[in-house]
Amino acid sequence: MQDLVVAIDQGTTGTTVLLVDAARTVRGRGYREFEQIYPRPGEVEHDPEAIWGSVTGALADALGGVDVRRIAALGITNQRETTLLWDRDGGRPVANAIVWQDRRTAPFCATLKAAGQEPAVRERTGLVLDPYFSATKIRWLLDDVTGLRARAEAGKIAFGTVDSFLIWRLTGGRVHATDVTNASRTLLCDLRTRRFSDELCTLFGVPQALLPEIRPSAGRIGETRGVPGLPDGIPIAGVAGDQQAALFGQDCTEPGDAKCTFGTGAFLLMNIGAEPRLSTRGLLTTVAWTLDAPAARGTAYALEGSAFVAGALVQWLRDGLGIIAKAAEIEALARSVPDSGGVTIVPALTGLGAPHWRAEARGLISGITRGTTRAHIARAALEAIALQNVDLVTAMQADAGRAINNLRVDGGASANDLLMQIQADLLGVQIFRPEMLESTALGAAKLAALGIGLAPADKGGETARIRIFNPTMPAETRTELLGRWAAAVGRA
């Protein structure tokens, strides 16, 4: 009986592998970290072989004691935008991967902006001209490694985001493909045709011969071959970038459904349906998924916004100010006071992200009096995390022309009950928190199961494992908090 799905969640600092059964219950789990490389300030790299080693190691841990003949399919989700180049002959990486956090291509992005290219790029891709995305990273590698551009133009080099590199390795070098969600983060993909654009490739100096084939997020992409611990022939049937996978994992399949991943930062995505809508309020438009499976077909788009600092604010209270000894202590401390006592925190520790996009902004704590305690600061910190998301949701609803249905949450900080209640109160909508917070890996598993036509799990059992937070805050209190926040952001 083939009833298990392997989900590979390849993240920025490590790889998680889950083995999930038909009821979406985790039957095996593995995790392996790998080294972060910081060559110079603003530069972040990964060794592609270390990424692969973390995948095979986590696979071995997850599959220990399991009859691998029960594995029906494999799904992949991954850190997006991170850029890898490798030899087509033998698959050897030609350089370290340039990670999505890397800022080394900022001067080239500035040159393109000065030349007036950003409006056309935004119209075509739904993205902004920023080093975050893959295209300028590819160009930098081609120009930095001696002889690499000529080899790329001759078709001897392959480019991929992490999903594409893993597909290549998992299939023994037989498949060079990416899924549409990852392609839509490269600055090379036309948002409407969901194909790489000749004009964009020319603008960024990227030879078409480098590029992978763009495939749906659910559907057969290839089969395993020569992977330690896995039989040959397991279909790779689901692939999506991490935030899109979390959106699918949270069952945000209808327009207006939204999810927020509370991690170091906060990533908020809203399903906007079958037609892309470009943001006029500082958000990104991205492909949520394309399905090409027996039970479902079609493309959905999403609006995306991110706050740079969420869980990182709690870490700063712990490491920078010493207000708490462990991150988990913040909830009890914040609960010890009924409110923040007029304290407002703007967590612009690394500037402000969407929808403000103010890199020069700096953190601010206002409203401190002689009566302010560390408990008030702790509560204000939780309110700050939630208030950032109010700004994102407000922008999303205006861009989409509709309200969100509710907000589904995942990520480590979503385990904080008080934070979730504050978020429900400030948004004025229900917050849905599933029992399983690893929605990213779950989304990859669900896409893979859909891709080979496995029967979907019973939604009734899954719904029973969701906790709902209902808004209870009086309207005048909410108005006061939002007003203090807006004033503080203006001063940050």
Dump pLDDT digits (tens) for 204-218: 999 999 999 999 999
- The pLDDT score that the predictor gives to residue 413 is 87
Q: Predicted confidence band at 13 (pLDDT cuts at 50, 70, 90)?
A: confident
> What mean pLDDT comes out for the span 9-32?
89
pLDDT digits (tens, 9 = 90+) for 136-150: 999 999 998 889 999
Q: Is the four-CA dihedral 386, 387, 392, 393 of positive or negative sign?
A: positive
Q: What is the pLDDT of residue 372?
A: 94
Confidence of residue 132 (pLDDT cuts 50, 70, 90): confident
376 burial type by CB count under 10 A (0-12 exposed, 13-18 middle, 19+ buried): buried
The answer to whether residue 404 scores a pLDDT higher than 80 is yes
Question: Predicted confidence band at 356 (pLDDT cuts at 50, 70, 90)?
Answer: confident
- What are the structural domain ranges in the chain? 4-243
Residue 295 pLDDT more than 70? no
pLDDT at 292 over 90: no
What's the pLDDT score for residue 53? Answer: 95
CATH topology of domain 4-243: Nucleotidyltransferase; domain 5 (3.30.420)
Cβ atoms 203, 188 nearer than 8 A: no
Q: How does residue 72 score in pLDDT terms, banded at 50, 70 and 90?
A: very high
Question: For residue 296, what pLDDT is reported?
Answer: 60
Q: Any idea which of 291-295, 328-332, 346-350, 357-361 has the lowest mean pLDDT?
A: 291-295
Cis ω on the peptide bond leading into residue 355 (within 30° of 0)?
yes
Residue 293 has a pLDDT of 61
Q: How does residue 102 score in pLDDT terms, banded at 50, 70 and 90?
A: confident
Distance separating alpha carbons of residues 339 and 380, to the nearest angstrom: 8
- Report the predicted TM-score, pTM, of the whole model to 2 decimal places: 0.88
Output the average pLDDT for the chain. Answer: 90
Residue 295 sits at φ, ψ, to 5 deg, of -100, -10
Residue 364's contacts (CB-CB under 8 Å, 6 or more residues apart) are: 344, 345, 346, 348, 488, 491, 492
Q: What is the pLDDT of residues 107-129, one digit of tens each?
A: 898 899 999 999 999 999 999 88
| 50, 14 contact by CB (below 8 A) | no
pLDDT(463) > 70: no
